[in-house]
Amino acid sequence: MYKFHELILGGVRSGKSLLAEQRAEATGLDLLYLATATAGDAEMSERIRHHQARRQEKWALLEEPTELAKALSQYARVDRCILVDCLTLWLSNCLHENCWELQSDALLTGLPNLQGQIIFVSNETGMGVVPMGELSRQFVDKSGFFHQQLASLCDQVTLTVAGLPLSLKTPTQEE
């Protein structure tokens, strides 16, 4: 059973999504873009359009704002690479729907059993000051703890800064 899971972290506009797309395309596998964003305003709609314009027709698209584990279990297979973009928006959606604990547990529990290649993209939000507001602190804390748990399950973890990838975790020779 072939499986390879990767987490690509970075700040806003750091180049993490482009890197993820390039790595996915280099696999030669069937490509599925699993989008978690919802277009709540004109600026977010433009961000989504920008990502869509960069991808070619070889990408299939699935939009799932909250039930990520369910979607992955349904679509993951050995001959497919799924790019999940982005976990930060997924976390926001789940917090808004009051389903974060359930959805994050389902993903972390199910991920080790998923076949194929899955590349997760997420914003690294904890490199600045501690936010003043309680909701902002809750978001940063949940994001940081989740990234730690997900990184422990992934074969490869990369931090992207200014378009440059920095390997934080690479597969071992036995894998």
DSSP element (H, E) containing 85 = strand 80-85
Active site residue 5: no
Q: Residues near 123 by Cβ (< 8 Å), separated by ≥ 6?
A: 9, 10, 11, 12, 16, 86, 87, 88, 143
Q: Sign (positive/negative) of CA torsion 17, 44, 90, 62?
A: negative
Catalytic one among 5, 50, 51, 147?
51
| Residue with token string 């991920």 | 111
Which residues are part of the catalytic machinery?
Answer: 51
